[in-house]
Structure 1
Amino acid sequence: MNVIWRTLFVMWRARRRLRRDGLIAPTELSCIRVTTLPTDIDVLRHMNNGRYLSLFDLGRWDLLTRTGMAGAMKSHGWYGVVVAETITFRKSLELWQRFDIESRLIGHDDKAIYLEHRAVIDGEIYARAIIRSRMLKRSGGTLSHEELFAAIGRPDGLPEVDEWVRDWAAASALPSTRAHAPSVWK
């Protein structure tokens, strides 16, 4: 809820851009401009590390809306859930600093789609996140890529997910929700 007003504004603006400019391909870059607000800052007076992922959600909303995926998801009763994410920081974002959130679909495997988000100032990356997301049906079950691509079209030029991303996804995966997953520390 802490970024609800920003989320609503980004969704409204993305729908307006969609009507004005038409659909973009899922592999195209989505870009929104954001300002680091006082509510984003931690005691060290730079953006709190946890806030980046919340703000990258804004980039995901823009991308999903402008590609038509959000509309297809709503009309079919589908939704996406983040199952894994990793973020790397390079430089700090300071109070009132304006930056771009760049987002794009970087590929898929047999179970998930992968997105990349970047915090960028003047063409320079300050932080980057890789997101692994599963698509689910409100009626129950997992949405297949065939169903998703039938609704939105298969993106041209969708690259294979880099080897390190596949390795990261495998290494960071938890057991299935149907499997036992005890919290045992070694």
Structure 2
Amino acid sequence: MMNPSKADSLQSDGTVNKIIKYFLKPYIRPLNERYRRIDDIKYLNILNLLPIYNSNSIGLEDDINSIISVHGYDYLQFLIESNIQKIHDVINESDYVVLAWGMPEKFPLTLYFEQAAKVLEKLVIIDKDIFVFRVRNSRARYHLTKHLNPPHPSRCVLLRLVRVDVKRFYRIVPRFTENS
């Protein structure tokens, strides 16, 4: 995902709570795999594309500038590379991967796309069950945003999972099976 909005050391984030509640259902049927049930989830790891916490994602650019001014570019690079390595490690250990990072506002899109591409690059070469959320908001139901990114689960209703493949050139493509 992107960034926890209200979490701190004493309270969880509303979006995290929503995801936990979703996965506590007795079983989940992916939208495009009607006859498949997912009922073996034991652990839930939620990771962010960026290793910087700010309750308001609009402030992330200022946070990046502060890190650079206080610690330098090398330290920021170390943080970002360590975060991607942690994401890759968790992907390796996971049975299922759900992509849910949305699209940030007022943020350097080159950095955002670079981090998303590093996650997708890993998923192109690894054999994992990959999903995105099918969501509903006040305007529509969808499982990819207009920019073909997985929707962030914060301001919507989580309807189902949609199984996807990650193809070359970092394309997230819904998987259609014979059972769909």
- Point out which structure has higher relative CO (alpha carbons under 8 A, 6+ apart): 2
TM-score category (smaller protein): under 0.3
* TM value normalised by structure 1: 0.26
Select the structure that is richer in strand: 1
